[in-house]
Chain A
Amino acid sequence: MARITAGLTTSHIPAVGAAIDLGKTGEPYWKPVFAGYEFSKRWIAEHMPDVVVLVYNDHASAFSLEMIPTFAIGCAESFQPADEGWGPRPVPVVQGHPELAWHIAQSTILDEFDMTIVNRMDVDHGLTVPLSLLFGQPAAWPCKVIPLAVNVVQYPPPTGNRCWNLGRAISKAVASFDRDLKVMVWGTGGMSHQLQGPRAGLINRDFDTRFLDGLTKDPEALAKIPHVEYVREAGSEGIELVMWLIMRGALERAAREVHRFYHVPASNTAVGHIILENPPR
């Protein structure tokens, strides 16, 4: 049977992708950011998943205001990197896993989550920057990826609790997939940042630290944080942190933290990254 082995979270800042694409990772500004992922690159090479369910948000790339799905699961064979206004990032095409994606869609819909099924979708920096951070610049990505796009642009986004419960439903779906697959769930976005208006540049290290601690100490409490608290404490774009709760809900309660990294700033944002492993079976 398929099994969720681990989960991780990471920010997905576009400037980080640009730094990788333009060969700037060794510059003094960027060096400490990428140093935080050195362990992670070694770790994932040793624990290579067959499939990553990658939770991210689209930034007005695949979805405009014409259609705004709350949860959209990519069921296609492959997904092209999006042209976000500067041409697509020079990264490999993302290969999907349609069998598992459809299985998760069916299982979660029957569990009363009204998923949107997507068969054509370009994927933007929200999805490709985390892949670059963990896998570097390979000719092809080393595993399959199921994109799970969450609306955090148009209010209201899903509640933290809904995300947590969707994670649990994904865990159940994966466990009932009759193929021997190692699956990871990644939650991306965050941490504290605000990109708009006179309060742009807001960073809240205390909130971020409590959130990182809470992922292992008391994830149920994180799931109860209301939207207004994210916006007030972590900035208007800090709301992306609800996506981390899908990852956390998909892992077992006894999951163990094996790596943590926090750094301010990357462009306008606090970089947060954590790796959680499920107990060995």
Chain B
Amino acid sequence: MKGYNEAFQDIPGTVVFDATQSRLGYHLNQFCMSLMKADNRAAFKAGERAYLERWPMTEEQRQAVLDRDYNRMIALGGNIYFLAKIGATDGFSFQNLASKMTGVPEDEYKAMMVAGGRPIEGNRSKTGKAK
């Protein structure tokens, strides 16, 4: 088990949803979970700030939701399967969220996928230790 969590840190552009992230993001993710109910989606849309105040999140987490900054939400403990419910509430597909997280326009992201996806070469390791 020694080094289990550390080993993931060498992987670029990836946050593993471990105990630390899960504790950090508990209320953020449970807020996302609430968006599975139509009434809650309507309440959130009617007043995002007020709805977010109901959840004991950090102000940073609330701001990241308001900004729809998914990478920031992930850094603050959000898990993508939970965060996708915000995207669904906004009426966006997973590919739209992916384009936001990768910082490229959606049509460019889609074209990359059709061309075979993001290549593994050059995307394995931050330090170059993993070949």
Interface residues of A (CB under 8 A from B): 14-15, 59-61, 64-66, 83-86, 153-156, 192, 194-207, 227-228, 231-233, 236, 264-265, 267-268, 270
When distances are taken between beta carbons in the complex, the residues of chain B under 8 Å from A231 are 8, 11, 14, 16
CA distance A230 to B4 in the complex (A): 13
Contact B95 A83 (CB under 8 A): no
Closest chain A residue to B28, Cβ basis: A65
Given contacts A196-B101, A202-B118, A203-B117, list 7 more A-B pairs with CB under 8 A: A15-B94, A153-B17, A199-B13, A236-B80, A265-B114, A267-B95, A270-B117
Chain B nearest Cβ from A236, distance in angstroms: 5
Residues of B within 8 A of A85 (CB): 35-36, 41, 84-85, 88-89
Chain A binding site: helix, strand, loop or mixed by DSSP?
loop
Tell me whether A153 and B88 are in contact in the complex, defined as CB-CB below 8 angstroms, given that A194-B14, A236-B14, A267-B95 are known contacts. Answer: no
Query: Inside 8 A of B81's CB, which chain A residues have their CB?
Result: 59-60, 153
C-alpha gap A61/B87 in the complex (Å): 15
Set of chain B residues within 8 Å of A228, measured between Cβ atoms: 7-8, 11
Q: How far is the CB of A33 from chain B (nearest CB, A)?
A: 12
A232 touches B125 (CB 8 A): yes
B80 touches A196 (CB 8 A): yes
A155 to B11, CA, bound (A): 15
- Given A85-B85, A233-B124, verify A268-B15 contact (CB < 8 Å): no
Cα–Cα, bound, A192→B118 (Å) = 11
Residue-wise interface mask of B (22-44) relative to A, using a CB-CB cutoff of 8 A (1 in contact, 0 not): 10001001101101100001000
Write the chain B residue with the least CB distance to A14.
B94
Interface residues of B (CB under 8 A from A): 4-5, 7-8, 10-19, 22, 26, 29-30, 32-33, 35-36, 41, 70-71, 74, 79-82, 84-85, 88-89, 93-95, 97-98, 101-103, 109, 112-114, 116-120, 123-125, 130
For the complex, give the distance between the alpha carbons of A265 and B95 in Å: 12
Assembly CA distance A93 to B29 (angstroms): 28
A200 and B89 contact, CB distance less than 8 A: no
A265 to B94, alpha carbons, bound, how many Å? 13
Closest to B22 in A: A154
7 A-B residue pairs with CB within 8 Å:
A60-B29, A61-B36, A85-B85, A153-B17, A198-B71, A231-B14, A268-B117
Smallest Cβ-Cβ distance to A13: which chain B residue = B94
Q: Establish whether residues B130 and A232, one from each chain, have CB atoms under 8 Å apart when the complex forms.
A: yes
CA gap between A155 and B112 in the complex, in Å: 29
> Contact between B117 and A264 (Cβ–Cβ < 8 Å)?
yes
Q: A64-B30, A65-B29, A232-B130 are in contact. Are A202 and B117 (CB under 8 A)?
A: yes
In the assembled complex, how far is the CB of residue B68 from the closest CB belonging to chain A, in whole angstroms?
15
For B94, give its contact among A156, A232, A267 (CB under 8 Å).
Answer: A267
Q: Which residue of B lies closest to A57 (CB)?
A: B81
* Nearest-neighbor residue (CB-CB) of B71 within chain A: A197
Residues of chain B lying within 8 A (CB to CB) of residue A153: 17, 79, 81
Chain A positions within 8 Å of B89 at CB level: 85
How far does the alpha carbon of A201 sit from the alpha carbon of B109 in the complex, in Å?
8
Using Cβ atoms and an 8 Å threshold, which residues of chain A touch B82? 60, 64-65
**Given A155-B16, A231-B11, A270-B117, A195:B102 Cβ within 8 A:** no
List of A residues within 8 angstroms of B22 by Cβ: 65, 154
Which residue from B74, B103, B124 sits with its C-beta under 8 Å from A232? Answer: B124
Give the chain A neighbours of B119 by CB distance below 8 A: 203
Q: Compute how far the CA of A14 lies from the CA of B41 in the bound complex, rounded to whole angstroms.
A: 20
Please report the C-alpha to C-alpha distance between residue A183 and residue B17 in the assembled complex, in whole angstroms: 34
